[in-house]
Structure 1
């Protein structure tokens, strides 16, 4: 049964990639981040093999593919953000029952976002199991949308580029991607921290320049 489901998913992804290429990756990432249903590890690992390695294309396309996927991720996450921001906890609780989401986790994440702000949104985008969840507390806390979108885009780019790159390197064995993610999770987190640091430097330098002009 599971093998049949897996075969169906892969056949669907292959059809989408054959017909739409990276635009298909973009659309799938919008859906994945808005619903949390389709795992990005499968989408992006398969894309790294099928759209780059299988056609013997230059590996620099990994970074272009990461941009397509990151933009789709940010747009999909924005949908979840606005649902949470406009609907509040009552709407999220209804969705939680539908998607079997633990509200206790949402509450804890909300506390972290309240405490650390945009930085926790950025780093949350590179942590498996937190990536799609982090948009909800960000919306509930009402983090300014431009800051949310920018932080999400940066974090998503790190995550998506990494998965596409691993899929490219593994080739036909791209389905081992989950094992590699567990093995290299510390490096992923370091990448996330570097992204956070870069964002904070950019943000505070911009604020400092604005104060000087005043």
Structure 2
């Protein structure tokens, strides 16, 4: 909850900071540079996914973001950037945080206890399992990168046509 709410308020702060810079052109250069960096972040793929999710689903998107990996921070920041009312964000975050806690308390701790039990049985078995998981993660990441590259190439071809 602390991270999600801090990220929400950071997003709100970005909006407020941009307003202040726009209203007072006499702001120091470091402030302008900070706003430019934050604006550049909002152009990233992850930030755009978070903004799109919050714009489309609103508070439900915030709740569901707790169950995702890789887009949570972007959704929480996006909620602040689009100035979602804080009471709505707070109420949306409650069931999401509970769901995240349940997932962590069951699957997360279950995985940790399984790894501990495997280690006490055979440290080599745990090492082997970690290698297999590492290979699987690397394969999935490479597959995702290939798919994105293919989509980018298809978009370039489409743009040329």
So what's the TM-score if we normalise by structure 1?
0.40
Q: Flag the 1:92–1:116 CA change in 2: closer, same or farther, 3 A.
A: farther
Cross-structure match for 1:94: 37
Cross-structure match for 1:80: 7
Q: Flag the 1:105–1:166 CA change in 2: closer, same or farther, 3 A.
A: closer
Q: Is the 8 A contact 1:124 1:131 kept in 2?
A: yes
Asked which structure has the greater CA Rg, the reply is: 2
Q: Flag the 1:105–1:92 CA change in 2: closer, same or farther, 3 A.
A: farther
- Which consecutive unaligned segments of at least 5 residues does structure 1 have? 1-73, 183-214
Alignment partners' CA distance in 2, 1:77 and 1:92: 21
Cross-structure match for 1:158: 99
What are the Cα deviations for residues 31-77 of structure 1, in whole angstroms up to 9, with x where unaligned? xxxxxxxxxxxxxxxxxxxxxxxxxxxxxxxxxxxxxxxxxxx2221
Alignment partners' CA distance in 2, 1:146 and 1:168: 31
Cross-structure match for 1:134: 75
Alignment partners' CA distance in 2, 1:164 and 1:86: 33
Alignment partners' CA distance in 1, 2:9 and 2:39: 16
- Which consecutive unaligned segments of at least 5 residues does structure 2 have? 19-33, 117-125, 138-161
Aligned residues: 104
Counterpart of 2:68 in 1: which secondary structure? coil
For the pair 1:173 / 2:100, whether they are aligned, the reply is no
Counterpart of 2:74 in 1: which secondary structure? coil
Structure of greater relative contact order (alpha carbons < 8 Å, 6+ residues apart): 1
Offset of 1:164 from its aligned partner? 2.0
Q: Flag the 1:169–1:86 CA change in 2: closer, same or farther, 3 A.
A: closer
Alignment partners' CA distance in 2, 1:152 and 1:138: 11
Cross-structure match for 1:121: 62
Q: Flag the 1:167–1:136 CA change in 2: closer, same or farther, 3 A.
A: closer
Offset of 1:80 from its aligned partner? 1.2
What are the Cα deviations for residues 81-128 of structure 1, in whole angstroms up to 9, with x where unaligned? 11111222965763587xx88623212321331222111111111011
List aligned pairs for 1:98-109, cutoff 5 A: 103-109=44-50
Moved over 3 A (4+): 89-93
Q: Flag the 1:92–1:163 CA change in 2: closer, same or farther, 3 A.
A: farther
Alignment partners' CA distance in 2, 1:106 and 1:135: 10
Counterpart of 1:142 in 2: which secondary structure? coil
RMSD (Å), alpha carbons = 3.3
